Amino acid sequence: MSRIGTIFSPYPHPPEQLRDAARAAEDAGVEELWLWEDCFRSSAWAAAAAALAVTDHLRIGVGIAPLPLRNVAVSAMEIATIERMFPGRLLPGFGHGVQDWMRQVGAKVASPLTLMREQLPALRSLLAGETVSAEGRYVKLRDVTLDWPPAAAPLVYAAAEGPKTLALAGAVADGVVLDSRHTVDEIAAAVRAVRAGRAEAGREGRTDVVAYVLTAFGPDAHERATAVLADRADAADRVLAGSVSEVAEGVARFQAAGVDDVVLLPTDDVDLAAFFSAVGQVAVSLPNGGGAS
């Protein structure tokens, strides 16, 4: 079923605002609230656990945490701990990380693609309760097994942008997170690349596709949304803006392009509770939109 989510951004919002924001999202009927971990703001996993603890059924996505910052066994323990406490409500995602930040903390790797290729399969196997040994360039494990694996392993997402990472995400991850600022056609091309990568790897099933879309509601929505992308002549094609029904029509176009979860990203200047309320209305207005009616 197609889903509609939204975002709590660590840029205009400090960590102490997250609990109220998570409650507001759940009260608005939003099913998923996504976070991310950028240096040097807030921890992805601490934030996810806090948001889950103050809500009853809201799913929390981490899109994303940087792979180079943690040993894969530590990531597996963090995810398994949260998943056992809040079953079925965590959507963990990982990415290369901003390379300048990774260099700044001494975590930059020579080959981010190799790191992802090694870490994500090991992580998925650990979360599945398997005993994992690996002797890779970056991942080295000796008969590692989680003592408290989750009852059901969550989907593991990979952030992807360029063609090589899109194909790799299809090959080694359960889902992919596509960043905002893209047109529907660009998203459709990314979806095709992910699916091709999965098929080439010989994997059955399909990759769950999450796409962030910068969104604004209200009479001045187009001006506020496109101002964020003022450097792009086609900014209007890269955002969703207007009334609830207008945004819902735009969401449907992304769904038709192959997106399973359209995640509406607010501009920095909005009241989050009001924005989440509008997101909930969008979800209700769409068939199979995942909203609470």
135-160 confidence digits (pLDDT tens): 999 999 999 999 999 999 999 999 99
- 17-26, 173-182, 282-291: least confidently modelled range: 282-291
DSSP state letter for 157: E
Q: What is the pLDDT of residue 293?
A: 31
Residue 28 clears pLDDT 60, i.e. is over it: yes
3-class secondary structure per residue, 29-94: CCCEEEECCCCCCCCHHHHHHHHHHCCCCCEEEEEEEEHHHCCHHHHHHHHHHHHHHCCCCEEEEE
pTM: 0.95
Grouping H, G, I as helix, E, B as strand and the rest as coil, residue 98 is coil
Q: Where in the chain are the domains? A: 3-285
pLDDT tier for residue 2 given thresholds of 50, 70 and 90: confident
Q: Are 92 and 62 in contact (CB under 8 A)?
A: yes
Q: pLDDT tens digits, residue range 88-99?
A: 999 999 999 999
CATH of domain 3-285: 3.20.20.30
Kindly state the average pLDDT of the residues 192-215: 98
Instruction: List residues bridging with 134 in a β-sheet.
Output: 141
Region 60-67: mean pLDDT is 98
The pLDDT-based confidence of 292 (bands split at 50, 70, 90) is very low
DSSP letter for each residue of 184-232: HHHHHHHHHHHHHHHHHTT--S--EEEEEEEEEESTTHHHHHHHHTTT-
pLDDT of res. 248 = 98
Q: What is the pLDDT of residue 1?
A: 60
pLDDT value at residue 288: 67
Scan for tokens 């890269």, then name that residue: 238
> Can you tell me the mean pLDDT for 202-214?
97
How large is the greatest C-alpha to C-alpha distance in the chain, in angstroms?
59
Q: Is the pLDDT of residue 291 over 80?
A: no
pLDDT number for residue 287: 75
Q: How far is Cα 250 from Cα 68, in angstroms, rounded to an integer?
A: 35
Q: Please give the single-letter amino acid code of residue 94.
A: F
Q: How do 175-178 and 59-66 pair as beta strands? A: unpaired
Average pLDDT across the chain, whole number: 96
- Up-side HSE of residue 175: CA atoms within 13 Å toward CB? 21
At 245-276, the pLDDT tens digits run 999 999 999 999 999 999 999 999 899 999 99
